[in-house]
Chains A and B, each alone.
Chain A
Amino acid sequence: MRIGVFVCHCGSNIAGTVDCKAAAESALSLPDVVYATDLMYSCAEPGQAAIEKAIHDYALTGVVVASCSPRMHEPTFRRTVERAGLNRYMFEMANIREHVSWIGKDKVANTNKACELIAMAVAKLRNDRPLHSQSFDVTKKVLIIGGGIAGIQAALDCADGGIPVILVEREPTIGGKMAKLDKTFPTVDCSACILGPKMVDVAQHPNITLYACSEVEDITGYVGNFDVTIRKKTTYVDWDKCTGCGACTEKCPSKNVPDRFNENVGLTTAINIPFPQAIPKRASINPDYCRKLTTGKCGICAKICPTKAIDYERKDELINVKVGSVIAATGYDLMDWTVYEEYGGGRYPDVITSLQYERLLNASGPTGGHIKRPSDGKEPKRIVFIQCVGSRDKSIGRPLCSGFCCMYTAKQAVLTKDHIPDSQSYVFYMDIRAAGKLYDEFTRRAVEEYGTEYIRGRVSKIYPDGNGQLIVCGSDTLLGQRVEVPCDLVVLAVGINASKGASHLAEKLRISYDQYGFFLEGHPKLRPVETNTAGVFLAGVCQGTKDIPSSVAQGSAAAAKVLSLFARDKLENDPQIAHVNAARCVACGKCIRCCPFGAIREEEFRGQLKAKVIDTVCQGCGLCTATCPQGAIQLSHATDNEILAEVNQLCQF
């Protein structure tokens, strides 16, 4: 074998604390190394050209680049060696930046460590074998999970691009949180007016199949070929027959049902349609409150329904679909703010969340768009908004900024003045984060034109004064004085978590998530809508906090990713997968049980049962190789021999 070693300076990133020239020279003493040099920027065009030239000039059969993490540039260098005629897997990378130069200052020690890592990479390369991908068919259909604005946008873009879309929504209607909003910042245009047309487009688009009241039960397979099971939860109403006329909701005698769509301010009926513009506009029964379902006596809705759509016996349905790609757009939920006992822990009716306030402002909300406080229905005159409730608060394990609260609080203060001209709003804030287009101008308008009083400081306590008012105890840190505001209503800008159940879904999708349940993108800057699972993309707040424009942009971005994936008729697999040595396999079946992808099955081989890896399903995780008691399964490009060669090399030092 003829190996070339290239040690990268990465400008001063590596060369600042590693003697790259010495490292390259020391590599020359390693077996099979016929050429070694140092390069200023190996990933840049001149660097790559130098590698290609060396391959030709020195008839290299394998290449080691000692530079940065393989995460970004391994694909770059694999393409480089491929262009020069080598197999792309006859390449190894030693990470002497993240693992060496960035973490130590001692140049001698760093250089030694770099030499060791290079020696290990050479040892591995000497055991590497050329690997080849296989190609397979793609199912050109996409599953979109979540019908909020991000999911809607992704669905419409995919559908317009000619891709059949399966849109799954957990709630009885699509629209997500945006459907609950009254107006949107910074333009103060009506949320329903701009969202409504898109929701209708979803309902009418020939390429979109919508499953509301449904959740993803299970998902197996791999990019290009996912098998999805969708649970269509029973609504006790046959939606093929239901016309959404609403006769049932008028006659339903169970009228004290907490209204989920209205964030539990106000009540609804046991059979209901969430709001007038719901898509699909279909009735569903809340089984916890339906008299027929809880006591067996009632049945009024079934009697009244003109299309005979009510069916109390109706069960959940399971639907199987095959898709080639998945977009998760599951959005967010508010964190449980009742941990703030100093704000009453949820016991004071007139301390509400901003989303609840949004429903009070909304003409389709429980008060018909008249702001009435929950305790006694009075119109509040003095309203206090408190920001960062459950955000930027390490004491409850939530250091994150929820991102959009500053803006909607300003919007709500503006709307309050519009609704009640003789009202006065106060906003307790720490910093006003208004970085979007026209955002800062908007918050200034709230102060300058609408007279909103901004008070810089956190609120320590809220208590009812016993006379029907709430006392908000804060401080004005700019003034250096405690501040008390007696008021009629307190609106909390409650921080956000990923949507309830997001972590379970992440496990089904085999994608990572953080402590708040937000899904992890492929790269924080450069792969914002991809995940580390091929074919699974992200859109909207499920990936991290963002406002409507950003969610829409990400919905479109995820759709573009799907469209580009589906632009090819065939996909290639990664050949770094498991292989069974049939001679050693004793068919114990342990590998089959431990494989998280269902990629191994038993097959007859010369009259005996043996484990067999399905090449296109295997993701190369290596669990089976670690489990196999016989050492019969080896992971290509990480075989026992290859790993031991590295270890042996290291142990020589």
Chain B
Amino acid sequence: MQDTPLNIVQGRDLSFIREVEAESGQKVSNCYQCGNCSAGCPAAFTYDLQTNQIMRAVQLGLKDKVLNSKSIWMCLSCSTCSLRCPNNIDVANVMETLRHMARRENRVNVPVMNKFWLSFLNTVRAFGRSFEIGTMVLYMLRSLRLTTDVDLAPGALSKGKLGFKPHVVPDGGAKAVARIFRRYEERARREGVRP
């Protein structure tokens, strides 16, 4: 609701600020809103909230605004923001923390990003190593974007850049990796969060 003014007394979730600070290890009140993080962000043009606005919203404890934002999913983790922050805040770490928090609460506002990651991780789970064509196929099925990157296929295939067969970790290694995933998912379920 953009029209209603924010009640700065009641509209804030102070425990959210503490949680973000604890999990990221960053002190968000150190941010003085210079905007350097936004200025250098390669993904800024895809954001609904600029990085400094995310930081501001965290400072104010606006949990819904932050965790429902698209930006936290579009972040590329290049950490340009952290590198150039004049206040030594690891902004990329804050972004990743917010992404983890949103996922645990089952708020995924850019499903394609999530679908891509899951497709990638599915192949790792299956074979122990990532499998590029497998990732693509799974992603296309999940996202129903069946023409994704088809323009690249002829070049990549003719150069032998993409193998049709996955590389499976030998000697039971793949199974060991699958066990890591299984335990991870079981634990997430036990803890009542989205894996």
Task: Judge A-B direct contact (beta carbons within 8 Å).
Answer: yes
Determine if B39 and A483 form an interchain contact, defined as CB atoms under 8 angstroms apart: yes
Residues of A within 8 A of B50 (CB): 475, 477, 480-482
Taking a contact as CB atoms closer than 8 A, the residue among B35, B41, B45 that contacts A477 in the complex is B35
Residue among A393, A473, A482 with max Cβ neighbours from chain B (10 Å):
A482
Determine if A475 and B53 form an interchain contact, defined as CB atoms under 8 angstroms apart: no
- Which of A443-491 touch B at CB < 8 Å? 456-461, 473-477, 480-483
Which A residue sits closest to B40, measured CB to CB?
A: A460
Majority DSSP secondary structure for residues of B touching A = loop
What is the distance, in angstroms, from A540's C-beta to the closest C-beta of chain B? Answer: 28
The contact size tier of chain B is 20 to 34
Decide if A568 is an interface residue (CB 8 Å cutoff).
Answer: no
Residues of B within 8 A of A461 (CB): 39-40, 84
Residues of B within 8 A of A474 (CB): 35, 39
Query: A388 CA to B32 CA in the complex, in Å?
Result: 13
Taking a contact as CB atoms closer than 8 A, the residue among B41, B45, B49, B88 that contacts A394 in the complex is B88
- Which of B77-117 touch A at CB < 8 Å? 80, 84-88
Residues of A within 8 A of B41 (CB): 482
Decide if B148 is an interface residue (CB 8 Å cutoff).
Answer: no
Determine if B87 and A395 form an interchain contact, defined as CB atoms under 8 angstroms apart: yes
Residues of A within 8 A of B80 (CB): 460
Query: A483 CA to B45 CA in the complex, in Å?
Result: 11
Which A residue sits closest to B87, measured CB to CB?
A: A394
Determine if B39 and A480 form an interchain contact, defined as CB atoms under 8 angstroms apart: no
Residues of A within 8 A of B88 (CB): 394-395
Residues on B facing A (Cβ under 8 Å): 30, 32-36, 38-41, 44-45, 49-50, 52-53, 80, 84-88
Determine if B38 and A482 form an interchain contact, defined as CB atoms under 8 angstroms apart: yes
Residues of B within 8 A of A456 (CB): 35
Query: A461 CA to B41 CA in the complex, in Å?
Result: 10
What is the distance, in angstroms, from B192's C-beta to the closest C-beta of chain A? Answer: 35
Residues of A within 8 A of B30 (CB): 394
Residue among B39, B44, B45, B84 with max Cβ neighbours from chain A (10 Å):
B39
Majority DSSP secondary structure for residues of A touching B = strand
Decide if A571 is an interface residue (CB 8 Å cutoff).
Answer: no
Taking a contact as CB atoms closer than 8 A, the residue among A473, A477, A480, A483 that contacts B34 in the complex is A477
Determine if A477 and B38 form an interchain contact, defined as CB atoms under 8 angstroms apart: yes
Decide if A189 is an interface residue (CB 8 Å cutoff).
Answer: no
Decide if A392 is an interface residue (CB 8 Å cutoff).
Answer: yes
Which A residue sits closest to B48, measured CB to CB?
A: A480
What is the distance, in angstroms, from B79's C-beta to the closest C-beta of chain A? Answer: 13
Decide if A430 is an interface residue (CB 8 Å cutoff).
Answer: yes
Residue among A388, A460, A461, A474 with max Cβ neighbours from chain B (10 Å):
A460
Determine if A482 and B34 form an interchain contact, defined as CB atoms under 8 angstroms apart: no
Decide if A82 is an interface residue (CB 8 Å cutoff).
Answer: no
Decide if A602 is an interface residue (CB 8 Å cutoff).
Answer: no
What is the distance, in angstroms, from B60's C-beta to the closest C-beta of chain A? Answer: 15
State whether A475 and B85 are in contact (beta carbons under 8 Å apart), knowing that A480-B50, A481-B50 are contacts in the complex. no
Determine if A458 and B34 form an interchain contact, defined as CB atoms under 8 angstroms apart: yes
Decide if A342 is an interface residue (CB 8 Å cutoff).
Answer: yes
Residues of B within 8 A of A393 (CB): 86
Determine if A430 and B38 form an interchain contact, defined as CB atoms under 8 angstroms apart: no
Determine if A342 and B35 form an interchain contact, defined as CB atoms under 8 angstroms apart: no
What is the distance, in angstroms, from B59's C-beta to the closest C-beta of chain A? Answer: 13
Query: A468 CA to B162 CA in the complex, in Å?
Result: 40
What is the distance, in angstroms, from A400's C-beta to the closest C-beta of chain B? Answer: 12
Query: A165 CA to B87 CA in the complex, in Å?
Result: 46
Residue among B32, B86, B88 with max Cβ neighbours from chain A (10 Å):
B86
Which B residue sits closest to A342, measured CB to CB?
A: B84
Determine if A395 and B39 form an interchain contact, defined as CB atoms under 8 angstroms apart: no
Query: A458 CA to B53 CA in the complex, in Å?
Result: 14
Query: A461 CA to B83 CA in the complex, in Å?
Result: 12
Which A residue sits closest to B49, measured CB to CB?
A: A480
Determine if B45 and A475 form an interchain contact, defined as CB atoms under 8 angstroms apart: no
Residues of A within 8 A of B49 (CB): 480
- Top 8 nearest A-B pairs (CB, nearest first) are A460-B40, A457-B35, A460-B39, A477-B35, A475-B39, A458-B36, A458-B34, A475-B35
State whether A475 and B38 are in contact (beta carbons under 8 Å apart), knowing that A430-B32, A460-B80 are contacts in the complex. yes
Determine if A477 and B52 form an interchain contact, defined as CB atoms under 8 angstroms apart: yes
Determine if B85 and A482 form an interchain contact, defined as CB atoms under 8 angstroms apart: no
Determine if B86 and A477 form an interchain contact, defined as CB atoms under 8 angstroms apart: no
A-B contact pairs, 9 of them (CB 8 A): A342-B84, A392-B86, A394-B86, A395-B85, A456-B35, A457-B34, A457-B39, A480-B50, A481-B50
Determine if A460 and B36 form an interchain contact, defined as CB atoms under 8 angstroms apart: yes
Residues of A within 8 A of B38 (CB): 457, 475, 477, 480-482
Query: A610 CA to B38 CA in the complex, in Å?
Result: 72
Residues of A within 8 A of B53 (CB): 480
Beyond A394-B86, A475-B44, 7 additional pairs, beta carbon < 8 A:
A392-B86, A393-B86, A394-B88, A395-B84, A456-B35, A458-B36, A475-B39
